[in-house]
Amino acid sequence: MPITTIEGHDLHVDEEGFLTRPSEWDEDVAVSLARQIGVSLTDDHWRAIHFLRDDYERQGETATLRRVAAFSGISIKRLFELFPQKPAKKLAYVAGLPKPHGCV
C-alpha cells in the first residue's frame, strides 16, 4: 500500500490517493487535500466534511451524495457548488475517507 507525506504526516493511500486509514486524517491534511483539487475550504465545506466523517463512524462506510444531502441539510446543488464535477468523490477525498461505493 503506497504511503504519501502531506503536512508532515505519512499517510497510507490507495492507488487513487484516497486515505486507507481515516484515523490518519486531520484538518491540516484536509486543507492540503482540498488545495490539491483546487478547493478552498469554507464553513460550508467543513460542515459537509464533518457530517461525512461522523456518518462514516456511525455507518462504517462512506455516505453517498444522496445520503449527505438528505441528512446534512446541504442540498445536492450546493454540494456540486462546493465540490464541482464529482462532489461525492471529492468530498470523500478531502474528508480522508474511502471513495463511496458506485463512484467511478
3-6 vs 9-12, strand pairing mode: antiparallel
Amino acid 10: pLDDT: 92
Q: How many domains does the chain have?
A: 1
Task: Kindly state whether residue 99 falls inside one of the protein's structural domains.
Answer: no
Mean per-residue pLDDT, 55-60: 96
Amino acid 24: pLDDT: 95
Task: Kindly state whether residue 55 falls inside one of the protein's structural domains.
Answer: yes
Task: Kindly state whether residue 103 falls inside one of the protein's structural domains.
Answer: no
Task: Kindly state whether residue 104 falls inside one of the protein's structural domains.
Answer: no
Amino acid 77: pLDDT: 97
Mean per-residue pLDDT, 64-78: 95
Domain that holds residue 67: 3-94
Name the catalytic one among 7, 98, 103, 104: 103
Task: Kindly state whether residue 89 falls inside one of the protein's structural domains.
Answer: yes
Residues 6+ apart with CB under 8 A from 47: 72, 74
Task: Kindly state whether residue 102 falls inside one of the protein's structural domains.
Answer: no
Amino acid 101: pLDDT: 75
Amino acid 104: pLDDT: 54
Based on the residue annotation, tell me whether 103 is a catalytic residue of this protein.
yes
pLDDT-based confidence at 72, cuts 50/70/90?
very high
Give the H/E segment covering residue 53.
helix 43-59
